[in-house]
């Protein structure tokens, strides 16, 4: 499935809807965490104006164990 370019702010909103919480922030980077069935998932998002690169978006989705289909529904 092809996913469109996503702005970091939109990705952050989608992950917050999925139950991620903001653990901390350092500069333009926001660090998120979610515990699901005893498993902890961590990631960081850099809040820049440009859309995320495809590889960066895929890496974040892999770290958070969120599928592209679920992300597309939330955007």
What domains does the chain contain, in order, with CATH numbers?
8-74 (3.30.920.30)
Buried b (16+ CB within 10 A) or exposed e, 3-32: eeebebeebbebbeeeebeeeeeeeeebeb
pLDDT at residue 67 in the model:
87
Nearest to 47 by CA among 7, 4, 3: 7
pLDDT tens digit sequence for 11-67: 999 999 999 999 999 999 999 999 988 889 999 999 999 999 999 999 999 999 888
* pTM reported for the whole predicted model: 0.85
> Quick count: other Cβ atoms within 10 Å of Cβ 74?
14
CA dist., res. 63 & res. 50, Å (int):
21
Residue 46 CB-half CA count within 13 A: 9
């Amino acid at each position: 499935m092809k996913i469109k370019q996503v702005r970091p702010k939109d990705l952050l909103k989608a992950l917050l809807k999925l139950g991620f919480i903001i653990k901390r922030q350092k500069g333009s980077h926001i660090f998120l965490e979610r515990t699901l069935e005893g498993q902890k998932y961590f990631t960081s998002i850099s809040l820049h104006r440009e859309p995320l690169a495809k590889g960066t978006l895929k890496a974040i989705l892999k770290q958070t164990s969120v599928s592209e289909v679920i992300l597309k529904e939330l955007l």
